[in-house]
């Protein structure tokens, strides 16, 4: 397992070499643990179903529970959902930020849009922004923990729990909350799920 350890988030955000190395690992199909804009999470390419299956097995998660997508531009989001019916201005209340939006999906992606919907978060986070830009594709993510168990607040603690991870990135303990989730499948009736 490759480890990237930083004293804080700003040190990671400013390490272009590390971000490039993490991006290359993800592009190669690796599964890792990274700090996100909310909590530590598992991460892999959104369209890599074998990597997604590894996360399902590591986490002990039901395979029919979709992952969320981390994206950071309208072009990518427009490939996933029909933005012509949605008002981009309305998204300013949610994105970029720690809000996950559930919307009708334009395409089927295994483990992501199984039920005609897709959950997307556009994080307000320099590290994630640089990482997604370096990869050039959206990522999938889910919290770093065993399904139903407490969140892991420092990815270094995950080393013993998930020894088959390809890499982990630590910035110390994260004391934040999971993202808020809003259902926008009916844009006239937006509701908070979590």
pLDDT tens, residue by residue, 165-174: 999 999 998 8
Residue 85 has pLDDT above 70, yes or no: no
| Helix, strand or coil, per DSSP, at residue 10 | helix
Listed in sequence order, the DSSP H helices in 45-162 are 49-59, 74-80, 88-91, 126-135, 158-161
Residue 149 predicted with pLDDT over 80: yes
Q: Domain residues of the chain, as ranges?
A: 2-192
Q: Please, which pLDDT band fits residue 44 given cuts at 50, 70 and 90?
A: very high
The reported pLDDT for the residue numbered 116 is 84
> In the prediction, which pLDDT does 178 show?
83
Across the range 13-24, mean pLDDT stands at: 97
CATH fold of 2-192 reads DHBP synthase (3.90.870)
């Amino acid at each position: 397992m490759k480890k990237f350890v930083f004293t804080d988030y700003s040190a990671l955000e400013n390490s272009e070499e590390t971000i490039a190395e993490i991006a290359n690992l993800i592009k190669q199909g690796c599964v890792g643990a990274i700090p996100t804009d909310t909590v530590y999470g598992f991460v892999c390419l959104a369209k890599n179903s074998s990597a997604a299956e590894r996360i399902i097995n590591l986490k002990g998660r039901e395979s029919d529970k979709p992952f969320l997508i981390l994206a950071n531009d309208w072009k990518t989001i427009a490939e996933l959902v029909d933005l012509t019916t949605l008002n981009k201005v309305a998204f300013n209340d949610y994105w970029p930020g720690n809000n996950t939006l559930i919307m009708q999906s334009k395409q089927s992606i295994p483990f992501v849009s199984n039920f005609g919907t897709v959950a997307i978060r556009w994080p307000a986070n320099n590290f994630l922004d640089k990482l997604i830009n370096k990869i050039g594709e959206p990522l999938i993510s889910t919290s770093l923990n065993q399904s139903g168990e407490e969140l892991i607040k420092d990815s270094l603690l995950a080393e013993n729990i998930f020894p088959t991870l390809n890499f982990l990135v630590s910035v110390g303990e994260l004391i934040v909350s999971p993202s808020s989730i809003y259902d926008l499948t009916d844009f006239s009736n937006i509701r908070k799920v979590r």
